[in-house]
């Protein structure tokens, strides 16, 4: 009997349930259900609507079962760093505050006063992003110390959703590393960092690696769906799942393109050299204790926000067309400036930035979109140079994966600015990587090499070559 695995992949702007099935060494993928996601404001804080997300997951599972498919297993991945705290009775003590909320403003500096930046990097190998869990927890410690004292369990978003499915509490490894609280060598919570920040060790759960079979659904859910299935941990950090599905990893730089652009390489060992720290590269934990040596780039969030600012009057593909038509316009903003993390208006922020840097101010939607795409491409090019500088080697190819790889104009732009071959696909890399971990846990695939060969055979990859520069 061939096995069916359900991947729940939730990103900052949408979630989906994808059914994967391996037949004749071909991986087949079918979309079961898709839903929107966005931040909501609760008591003045940007949050995730965690109850709705779980309700959407349940709707998706029901659709799958009603369609007559009995999944053997299910696994959930989401973005990283965000968490909830539970009390002794497993009740929520906190909202699911989103990492773009301003609560971490100034926290990084406060943490550095207790633990020098270099020491934190040497221990964790994690890049400095103002929203990392460590800074979110430190913020909570200042604003609501009593909540932290009452907390019996710290669960990251996918951990919590897995807990709702099974009643079991663990912290999945790949996502745990994104907290900047995991010791890279020991692969466990760093007790000295926690002690120094006055955060209790006891609320942290056992760290479980991807491919762990967590257990079955709760009795209540079995009754609700009329069916049971195993819950298997994928790389619950979406980027960890996406990179597991990069077809030919050894020779290529990957660019996981979605709300964020994550650009880097896979590596067997963490690299926390002075140069890596200087360029702010991360060593996030991956499947089989491989590392994702990468950097975050602001990504398609910028265009999502631009689209929203124009009241969704233009679709993404219309914005691409308008950008193409605005070929006479040119300005570059530093996309990684924190000012673009959650501005009141992305369009106004981009315009202000161009004004402040004495560049032509974009006025039409096409000019604004062109500024975003050109600026992203320039920042990818810079990152490629940094990666090659840190690692002392050059790469011939960039593999763009994720929803963003459908943007043909951007793919060509990346090929042109980096002067490298761009391979685009698979689009659903994250769901595929999630399914691959489940199939490995169920004994259907041996290892990640085999999984990647199967991914390469199963999904279309489109190639783009650099166009000659005209002088």
Q: Considering the complex, state which of residue 179 and residue 351 has its C-beta at the smaller distance from ligand LFR.
A: 179
* Nearest CB to ligand LFR, comparing residues 229 and 235: 235
Q: How far apart are CA 256 and CA 399, in angstroms?
A: 8
Is 292 a known ligand-binding residue?
no
Q: Which of 285/425 has CB closer to ligand LFR?
A: 285
Asked if 433 and 243 count as a contact pair (C-beta separation under 8 A), the reply is yes
Q: Does residue 304 have a known ligand-binding role?
A: yes
Alpha carbon distances (Å) from 411 to 314, 320, 458: 21, 12, 21
Task: Select 138 or 225, whichever has its Cβ closest to ligand LFR.
Answer: 138
* Helix, strand, coil in percent for the chain, rounding step 5: 40, 20, 35
Q: Which one, of 268, 344, 264, lies nearest residue 308 by Cα? A: 344
| CA-to-CA separations, 2 to 5, 28, 150, in angstroms, rounded | 10, 12, 46
What are 325's two structure tokens?
């038509």
Q: Identify the residue among 4, 5, 6, 11 touching ligand LFR (CB under 6 A).
A: 11
Annotation marks residue 238 as catalytic: yes
For residue 130, count other CB atoms closer than 10 A to its CB: 16
Out of 238, 278, 337, 374, pick the active-site residue: 238
100 is in an annotated binding site: no
Point out which span in 75-83, 190-198, 211-219, 367-375 binds ligand LFR (CB under 6 A). Answer: 75-83
Find the shortest distance in angstroms from Cβ 323 to ligand LFR: 23
Rounded to a whole number of angstroms, the minimum distance from the CB of residue 299 to ligand LFR is 8
Closest CA to 7 of 40, 30, 38, 39: 30
Would you say 238 is a known binding-site residue? yes
The answer to the question of whether 66 is labelled as a binding residue is no
Query: In the window 79-98, what residues touch ligand LFR (CB under 6 A)?
Result: 79-81
- Identify which of residues 210 and 366 has a Cβ nearer to ligand LFR in the complex: 210
Contacts (CB under 6 A) with ligand LFR, residues 285-344: 296
Half-sphere exposure (CA, 13 Å, Cβ side) for 427?
A: 11
Shortest reach from residue 99's CB to ligand LFR, in Å? 5
* Strand, coil or helix: 77: strand
User: CB atoms < 10 A from the CB of 282, how many?
Assistant: 28
User: Interface residues for ligand LFR in 231-290 (CB under 6 A)?
Assistant: 237-239, 258-260, 262
Q: How far is the CB of 10 from ligand LFR (least distance, A)?
A: 9
Per the CB < 8 A criterion, the answer to whether 207 and 187 are in contact is yes
Tracing tokens 């673009």 back to the chain, one arrives at 340
CA distance 181 to 188: 8
Say whether 259 counts as a known binding-site residue: yes
Contact indicator for 433, 241 with CB cutoff of 8 Å: yes
Q: What are 262's strand-pairing partners?
A: 256, 296
Nearest approach in angstroms of CB 235 to ligand LFR is 11
User: For residues 296 and 407, which CB has a smaller minimum distance to ligand LFR in the complex?
Assistant: 296
| Residue whose C-alpha is closest to residue 209's, from 167, 173, 251, 158 | 173
State the Cα–Cα distance between residues 368 and 346, nearest whole angstrom: 10
**Order of all β-strands in the sheet with 96-97:** 40-42, 45-48, 96-97
Measured from the CB of residue 194, what is the shortest distance to ligand LFR in angstroms? 21
Which CB, 179 or 205, lies closer to ligand LFR?
A: 179
Shortest distance (Å) from residue 272 CB to ligand LFR: 17
Q: Does 309 count as an annotated binding residue?
A: no
Contacts of 317 (CB under 8 A, 6+ apart): none
Q: Distance from CA of residue 318 to its chain's centroid?
A: 26
> Does 104 participate in binding ligand LFR (rule CB under 6 A)?
no
Nearer to ligand LFR by Cβ, of 80 and 347: the residue is 80
Contact between 126 and ligand LFR by CB under 6 A: the answer reads no
Mode of pairing for the β-strands spanning 291-297 and 188-189: unpaired
Q: Which of 82, 78, 95, 86 is nearest to 132 (CA)?
A: 82
Using rule CB under 6 A, residue 99 touches ligand LFR: yes
Q: What is the dihedral of CA 83, 85, 90, 93, to 10 degrees?
A: -120
237 is in an annotated binding site: yes
14 labelled binding-site residue:
yes
Size of the site for ligand LFR (CB under 6 A): 13
Dihedral pair phi/psi, residue 70, rounded to 5°: -105, 105
Residue 403 labeled ligand binder:
yes
| Distance in Å, CB of 223 to ligand LFR, minimum | 33
Annotated binding site for ATP: 12-16, 259, 304, 403
Which are the catalytic amino acids? 238
Q: Which residues bind ligand LFR (CB under 6 A)?
A: 11, 79-81, 99, 237-239, 258-260, 262, 296
Annotated binding site for substrate: 80, 237-239, 296
Annotated binding site: 12-16, 80, 237-239, 259, 296, 304, 403
């Amino acid at each position: 009997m061939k096995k069916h695995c359900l991947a729940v992949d939730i990103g900052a702007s949408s979630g989906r349930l994808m059914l994967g099935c391996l037949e004749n060494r071909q991986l087949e993928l079918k979309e079961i259900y898709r839903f929107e996601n966005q931040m909501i404001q609760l008591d003045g804080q940007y949050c995730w609507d965690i109850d709705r997300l779980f309700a959407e997951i349940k709707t998706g599972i029901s659709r799958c079962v009603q369609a007559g498919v009995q999944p053997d297993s299910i696994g959930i991945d989401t973005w990283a760093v965000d968490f909830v705290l539970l009390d002794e009775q497993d009740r929520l003590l906190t909202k699911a505050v989103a990492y773009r909320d301003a609560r971490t403003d100034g926290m990084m500096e406060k943490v550095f006063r207790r633990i020098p930046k270099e020491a934190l990097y040497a221990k964790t190998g994690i890049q400095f992003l103002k929203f990392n869990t460590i800074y979110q927890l430190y913020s909570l410690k200042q604003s609501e110390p009593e909540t932290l004292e009452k907390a019996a369990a710290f669960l990251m978003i996918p951990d919590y959703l897995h807990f709702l499915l099974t009643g079991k509490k663990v912290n999945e490894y790949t996502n745990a590393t994104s907290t900047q609280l995991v010791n890279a060598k020991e692969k466990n919570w760093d007790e000295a960092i926690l002690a120094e920040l006055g955060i209790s060790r006891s609320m942290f759960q056992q760290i479980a690696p991807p491919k762990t079979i967590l257990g079955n659904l709760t009795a209540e859910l079995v009754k609700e769906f009329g069916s049971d299935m195993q819950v298997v941990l994928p790389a619950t950090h979406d980027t960890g799942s996406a990179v597991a599905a990069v077809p030919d990893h050894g020779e290529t730089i990957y660019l996981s393109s979605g709300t964020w652009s994550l650009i880097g390489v896979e590596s067997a060992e963490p690299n926390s050299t002075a140069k890596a720290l200087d360029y702010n590269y991360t060593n996030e934990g991956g499947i089989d204790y491989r590392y994702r040596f990468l950097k975050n780039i602001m990504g398609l969030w910028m265009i999502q926000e631009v689209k929203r600012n124009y009241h969704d009057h233009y679709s993404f593909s219309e914005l691409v067309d308008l950008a193409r038509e605005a070929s006479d316009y040119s300005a570059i903003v530093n996309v990684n400036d924190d000012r673009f993390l959650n501005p009141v208006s992305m369009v106004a922020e981009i315009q202000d930035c161009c004004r402040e840097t004495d560049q032509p101010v974009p006025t039409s939607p096409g000019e604004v979109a062109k500024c975003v795409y050109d600026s992203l491409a320039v920042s990818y090019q810079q990152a490629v140079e940094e990666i090659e500088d840190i690692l002392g080697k050059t790469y011939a190819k960039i593999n763009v994966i994720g929803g963003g790889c459908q943007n043909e104009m951007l793919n060509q732009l990346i090929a042109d600015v980096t002067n490298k071959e761009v391979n685009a696909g698979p689009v659903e890399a994250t769901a595929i990587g999630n399914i691959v971990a489940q199939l490995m846990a169920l004994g259907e695939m041996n290892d990640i090499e085999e999984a990647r060969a199967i991914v390469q055979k199963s999904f279309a990859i489109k190639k783009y070559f650099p166009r000659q520069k005209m002088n």
